[in-house]
Amino acid sequence: MIEERVETAYEAWRNGRWDEIAGTLGKAGVVQLATITGAAQTVEGMPGRWDANGSDGLQFTTAEANGVTLDGRPVNGTVTLAAGSSLRLPGNRMVAVAGGGGSTG
């Protein structure tokens, strides 16, 4: 009985770890990291500008023609992003937003 619970717990941990590493936003899929700490900051290979100076959180500005979406809607202008937000870029690339302690990436 205890052995079955241990095996079940291990399998649950293993599946969670696999998602963390190889899932949609997993560590194995990270191709670039950028820390946003100022205003009008750009990130190489990505359209738009980032601004971390506002009190509302991280802001991202781009034109609709760049093909960036947030929650399935095209971004045209400036949007405010909270930690946990994700943007979808052309070429099936994704941007995951995380942060704390005064910096966001």
pTM: predicted TM-score of the whole model, two decimal places: 0.67
pLDDT for the residue 81: 85
Give me the residue spans of the domains in the chain: 1-29, 31-104
Q: What is the residue type of 57? A: G
Kindly state the percentage of the chain with pLDDT values over 70: 84
The pLDDT tens digits of the residues spanning 7-58 come to: 899 999 998 888 878 776 677 666 777 888 878 888 888 889 998 876 667 8
- What's the pLDDT band for 67 if we cut at 50, 70, 90? very high
